[in-house]
């Protein structure tokens, strides 16, 4: 009996990657990578998005094909899966042979549904072939993937997708069904946000566009170098990817699980044939303004002749107002700009000079070569108020257990854009971790307005915090007035184990 227990323990340690390498007789086998890309453009209950989701699948397939780890299989299912069982069958067929050391990536681009003030586990993704439609809930998705051995990577490009991991919600999440060591999740939006946008074309037609996957693809373009590879080690972690997306994707707030994860999401092939983006090196002079007039200055490099257009979208009435955001062609409609470096300025008269205004704007930069139009930048711009009370507050969950995969949700309330410094303090009042440092806020569609952040229970040096009582401190400055608030104490508990 003792021998059997020893073997089982050894297998468990190998599965979690915790067996010391020193003295081992052989190296761990290289992981086998597989991918399943599921997209839906035609629906029964929602507007059609053709061909946006299918184009997203093409972008993802091209991206994964250039990964140095080489995917053994990249399977695409576009408008072919319309039931949970059909989805489960595709997962079994694609990942059924995965071993404990393998990596299985699932990408889904579709409509996402979530009702505010409902349990986050009620959020769902629509599976549809245009004739039959079904809802895939977070719990159902977790149940299907739990049977897959090895590491599971989820990329969810859908409205409200952050609800699947309990992030970006006005209230605290009911649960995160992916809070396990072998799940890594990237979502295009917080649970309260949309990430698909529409503009009217004619009396009774709608045109859909999803921008997240385009920006994700640009984040991992290795020509001339990977822009999201912050430490220059030739690979992109999930944490690096989120940092890039927050800076260059404004339409919604990308979320990840786990926070601050060093899991390698992408590693480019050496010498892979790549084409430099037609438009690159986009740099903004500033992205935060205050007062009644803002001048947006930016530069970019055009690597070959192309048309360039801009779209300025205002955050109004609880969402991005695309109906009042026409495309502006640089040099006029149909103008082909020659290769070179360009500097542009846009002046905004934000309101009557006697009024104090604040809010969010989004500037998008497109290029067109022939019929191909590409979004290169979606930059969030903030206008801070020059005076007024920010109505600052903070609350947290009463307790969490990092050892079982929990992350502490921190809900900061503020009714105007502002720069937040958020820190975790121990029972002696000493700062043990910064969650944000002078970080400008962004619209997350919370009710009431505010910002969500998450603590994984680690200190500034990356080690685990000791069990005990902690609190959160939030600071900001508006119109020269400093504001500071503290949360009630919460408890960081040790992992509960059975005897």
In a domain, 291, yes or no: yes
Assess whether 112 and 161 both reside in one domain.
yes
Assess whether 347 and 444 both reside in one domain.
no
Higher pLDDT, 8 or 368: 368
So what's the pLDDT on residue 275? 67
Tokens of 467: 């069990």
- Identify the CA nearest to 219 among candidates 209, 233, 229: 229
Do 187 and 160 contact (CB within 8 A), yes or no? no
So what's the pLDDT on residue 259? 96
Assess whether 256 and 307 both reside in one domain.
no
First to last CA, the chain: 19
So what's the pLDDT on residue 274? 59
Q: Is 247 left (phi over 0), alpha (psi -120 to 50) or beta?
A: alpha
So what's the pLDDT on residue 221? 83
- pLDDT-derived band at 479 (thresholds 50, 70, 90) equals confident
Do 339 and 305 contact (CB within 8 A), yes or no? yes
Question: Which distant-in-sequence residues (6+ apart) come within 8 Å of 122 by Cβ?
Answer: 114, 115, 137
Residue 236 DSSP SS3: strand
Question: Which distant-in-sequence residues (6+ apart) come within 8 Å of 181 by Cβ?
Answer: 16, 405
Higher pLDDT, 387 or 101: 101
In a domain, 430, yes or no: yes
In a domain, 75, yes or no: yes
Assess whether 462 and 344 both reside in one domain.
no
Higher pLDDT, 270 or 355: 270
pLDDT at residue 206 greater than cutoff 50 = no
The average pLDDT across 19-28 equals: 49
So what's the pLDDT on residue 192? 96
So what's the pLDDT on residue 16? 35
Looking up residue 462, the CATH number of its domain turns out to be 2.60.40.4070
pLDDT tens digits, one per residue of 45-75: 998 888 889 999 999 999 999 999 999 999 9
- pLDDT-derived band at 15 (thresholds 50, 70, 90) equals very low
Among 360, 384, 408, which residue terminates a domain?
Answer: 384
In terms of residue numbers, what domain contains 63? Answer: 29-266
Assess whether 97 and 199 both reside in one domain.
yes
- Identify the CA nearest to 216 among candidates 178, 189, 261, 249: 249
Provide the pairing of β-strand 183-187 with 151-157: parallel
pLDDT tens digits, one per residue of 104-123: 999 999 999 999 888 999 99
So what's the pLDDT on residue 44? 96
Among 228, 245, 266, which residue terminates a domain?
Answer: 266
- pLDDT-derived band at 270 (thresholds 50, 70, 90) equals confident
- What's the chain's average pLDDT? 88
Residue 50 DSSP SS3: coil
Assess whether 365 and 449 both reside in one domain.
no
So what's the pLDDT on residue 415? 93
pLDDT at residue 407 greater than cutoff 90 = yes
Assess whether 35 and 114 both reside in one domain.
yes
So what's the pLDDT on residue 400? 96
pLDDT tens digits, one per residue of 147-198: 999 999 999 999 999 999 999 999 999 999 999 879 999 999 999 999 876 5
The average pLDDT across 277-292 equals: 89
Quickly tell me which residue has 């993704």 as its tokens. 125
The average pLDDT across 202-224 equals: 73
What percent of the chain has pLDDT above 70? 88
Provide the pairing of β-strand 293-302 with 340-349: antiparallel
pLDDT at residue 19 greater than cutoff 50 = no
Looking up residue 65, the CATH number of its domain turns out to be 3.40.50.1460
Q: How would you label 337-354 residue by residue, b for 16+ Cβ within 10 Å and e otherwise?
A: beeeeeeeeeebebeeee
**Rounded Cα distance, 148 and 169, in Å:** 29
Tokens of 349: 């008269």
So what's the pLDDT on residue 499? 38
Assess whether 209 and 254 both reside in one domain.
yes
Assess whether 427 and 336 both reside in one domain.
no
Measure Cα distances from 398 to 168, 487, 488, 489 in Å. Answer: 18, 10, 8, 7
**Rounded Cα distance, 253 and 417, in Å:** 15
In a domain, 17, yes or no: no
Assess whether 289 and 224 both reside in one domain.
no
Task: Please state the domain count of the chain.
Answer: 3
Assess whether 256 and 342 both reside in one domain.
no
In a domain, 1, yes or no: no
Assess whether 167 and 255 both reside in one domain.
yes
So what's the pLDDT on residue 326? 86
The average pLDDT across 295-321 equals: 93
Among 337, 366, 384, which residue terminates a domain?
Answer: 384
Q: What are phi and psi of 5, to 5 degrees?
A: -65, -40
pLDDT tens digits, one per residue of 416-453: 999 999 999 999 999 999 999 999 999 999 999 999 99
So what's the pLDDT on residue 355? 56
Range in 25-29, 51-55, 86-90, 271-275 the model is least confident about? 271-275
- pLDDT-derived band at 224 (thresholds 50, 70, 90) equals confident
So what's the pLDDT on residue 22? 43
So what's the pLDDT on residue 403? 92
């Amino acid at each position: 009996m003792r021998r059997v227990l020893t073997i089982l323990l050894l297998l468990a340690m190998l599965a979690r990657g915790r067996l010391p390498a020193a003295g081992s007789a052989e190296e761990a086998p290289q992981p086998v990578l597989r991918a399943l890309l599921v997209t839906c453009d035609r629906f029964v209950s929602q507007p059609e998005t053709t061909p946006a989701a299918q184009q997203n699948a093409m972008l993802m397939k091209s991206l994964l094909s250039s990964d140095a780890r080489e995917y053994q299989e990249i399977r695409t299912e576009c408008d072919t899966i319309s039931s949970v069982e059909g989805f489960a069958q595709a997962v079994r067929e694609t990942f059924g042979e995965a071993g404990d050391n393998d990596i299985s990536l699932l990408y889904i681009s579709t409509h996402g549904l979530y009702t505010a003030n409902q349990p986050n586990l009620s959020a769902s993704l629509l599976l549809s072939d245009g004739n039959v439609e079904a809802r895939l809930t977070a719990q159902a998705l977790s149940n299907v993937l739990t049977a897959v051995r090895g590491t599971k990577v989820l990329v969810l490009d859908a409205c409200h997708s952050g609800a699947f991991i309990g992030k970006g919600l006005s209230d605290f999440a009911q649960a995160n069904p992916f809070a396990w060591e072998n799940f890594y999740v990237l979502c295009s939006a917080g649970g309260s946000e949309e990430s698909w946008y529409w503009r009217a074309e004619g009396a009774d037609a709608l045109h859909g566009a999803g921008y997240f996957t385009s920006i994700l693809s640009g984040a991992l373009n290795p020509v001339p170098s990977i822009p999201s590879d912050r430490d220059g080690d030739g690979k992109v972690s999930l944490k690096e990817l989120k940092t890039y997306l927050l800076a260059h994707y404004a339409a919604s707030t990308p979320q990840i699980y786990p926070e601050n994860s060093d899991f390698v999401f992408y590693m480019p092939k050496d010498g892979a044939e790549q084409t430099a983006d037609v438009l690159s090196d986009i740099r903004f002079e500033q992205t935060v303004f205050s007062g009644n007039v803002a001048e947006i200055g930016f530069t970019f490099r055009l690597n070959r002749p192309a048309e360039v257009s801009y779209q300025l979208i205002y955050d109004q009435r609880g969402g991005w107002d695309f109906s009042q955001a026409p495309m502006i062609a640089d040099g006029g409609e149909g103008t082909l700009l020659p290769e070179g470096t360009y500097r542009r300025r846009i002046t905004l008269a934000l309101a009557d000079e006697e009024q104090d205004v604040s809010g969010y704007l989004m500037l998008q930069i497109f290029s067109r070569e022939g019929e191909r139009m590409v979004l290169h930048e979606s930059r969030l711009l903030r206008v801070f108020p020059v005076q007024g009370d920010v109505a600052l507050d903070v609350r947290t969950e009463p307790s969490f257990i990092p050892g079982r995969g929990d992350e502490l949700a921190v809900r900061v309330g503020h009714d105007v854009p502002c720069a937040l410094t958020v820190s975790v303090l121990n029972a002696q009042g000493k700062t043990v971790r910064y969650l944000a440092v002078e970080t400008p806020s962004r619209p997350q569609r919370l009710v009431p307005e505010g910002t969500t952040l998450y603590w994984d229970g680690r200190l500034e040096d990356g080690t685990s915090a000791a069990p005990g009582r902690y609190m959160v401190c939030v600071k900001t400055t508006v119109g020269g007035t400093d504001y500071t608030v503290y949360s009630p104490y919460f408890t960081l508990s040790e992992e509960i184990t059975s005897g």
